[in-house]
Amino acid sequence: MEVITIQSDAFQQLMSRLESLENYFKHIAKQQPMSDVWLDIEEACQLLKVSKRTLQSYRDEGILTFSQVGGKIYFSSSAIEEHLKNHTRKAFKKPERFI
């Protein structure tokens, strides 16, 4: 491993720039939280780990809401998150087997 040394002033400038970037990204994240991200069919399939046909069934059965612009279908990540939260099940303990 190579060790690099820099002057204190240069280090402080670097840290200041990193803090500025951090503040910028925090500001952007507040303006557009993750729940406002729109996913196309490919991205939604990858996120849910389902096939395109299964995702089509979710649309047909009204399981997942979607938006259509022209021929392109989009799913909001908040709708997907809400669906997952609404279908959360409590874990259960399997009965122990006696040998």
Q: What is the pLDDT of residues 42-86, one digit of tens each?
A: 999 999 999 999 999 999 999 999 999 999 999 998 889 988 898
Is 57 among the domain residues? yes
CATH of the domain at 44: 1.10.10
Q: Which comes out higher in pLDDT, residue 90 or 70?
A: 70
Q: For residue 46, is it within any domain?
A: yes
Range of the domain at 81: 34-86
**What pLDDT shows up at residue 32?**
63
Q: Is the pTM of this model over 0.75?
A: no
- For residues 68 and 40, give the distance between their C-alpha atoms in angstroms, rounded to a whole number: 10
Instruction: Tell whether the model's pLDDT for residue 99 goes beyond 90.
Output: no
In a domain, 18, yes or no: no
Average pLDDT, the chain: 88
The per-residue DSSP string of the chain comes to -------HHHHHHHHHHHHHHHHHHHHHHHHS-GGG-EEEHHHHHHHHT--HHHHHHHHHTTSS--EEETTEEEEEHHHHHHHHHHT-----PPPPPP-
The reply to whether 66 falls in a domain is yes
